[in-house]
Amino acid sequence: MRYLTLLRAKQSTTPPPPELMAAIMALGEEATKAGALLDTSGLAPSASGARVSLAGGELMLTDGPFAESKEVISYAIYEVRSKEEAVEWASRFLRVHQDLWPGWEGEVDVLKLFGPEDFPAAGA
């Protein structure tokens, strides 16, 4: 089964410590070599993006940045055998932040992508 993880955090005024970036790269390599990490990318601040919305029958375009207190920083797609496995990779990802960037706060949403296992006839 496949999970999309979205990392959300406050935009920091200081760059992340180089040791953290090294640890993130190492963890990404480990997850890739374990066959779990299928795809990942960092996301630029919402200032360089836009939002298209539909409300009251009207399409509306809003340029970034958006007013949310936390920005989506990156995403990853994992192929794993249970939700707990995806949660474990997400926890490891946050743990390197905990160890190497004191005071940093963020969260990871672990979202299941629908797959054949969600449709009983096909997943049997």
Partner 1 sequence: MNSDAKAVLEAVWRIESARLVASLARLVQDVGVAEEIAQDTLVIALEQWPRDGVPREPGPWLRATAKHRAIDLIRRRTNYASKLAVLAHDAIPREDDDELIDSLDDHIGDDLLRLIFTAAHPVLSVEARAALTLRLLGGLSTPEIARAFLISEATAAQRIVRAKRTLAEAGVRFSMPAPAEIGERLGTVLGVVYLIFNEGYAATGGTDWAQPALCREAIRLGRVLAGLLPDEPEVHGLLALMELQASRLPARIAADGRPVLLDDQDRRLWDRLLIRRGLAALERAEELGGGLYSLQAAIAACHARAHTAADTDWARIAALYEVLAYLLPSPVVRLNQAVAVGRAGDPARGLRIADGLGAERSLRDYPQLPAVRGELLAQLGRAAEARTEFGRAASLTRNEAERELFRARAESAVVHVDPGPAVAQ
Q: Is position 77 an interface residue for partner 1 (rule: CB under 8 A)?
A: yes
Contact range with partner 1 by CB under 8 A, out of 26-34, 40-48, 51-59, 60-68:
26-34
Give residue 12's Cα distance to chain centre.
Answer: 17
Which residues are 112's β-sheet partners? 3
Sign of CA dihedral 89, 90, 94, 100: positive
Interface with partner 1 (CB under 8 A), residue from 20, 27, 64, 85: 85
Piece of 13-21, 40-48, 88-96, 103-111 that binds partner 1 (CB under 8 A): 88-96
**Minimum distance of partner 1 from residue 124's CB (angstroms):** 6
**DSSP secondary structure of 58-91:** EEEEEESPP--SSEEEEEEEEE-SSHHHHHHHHH
Question: With contact defined as beta carbons under 8 Å apart, do 7 and 93 qualify?
Answer: yes
Shortest reach from residue 116's CB to partner 1, in Å: 5
Contacts with partner 1 by CB under 8 A: the residue count is 28
- Two structure tokens written together for 21: 């970036």
Interacting positions 33-72 with partner 1 (CB under 8 A): 33-36, 38-39
Between strands 50-55 and 58-63, the pairing is: antiparallel
Residue ranges binding partner 1 (CB under 8 A): 32-36, 38-39, 77, 79-85, 87-89, 92, 95, 115-117, 119, 121-124
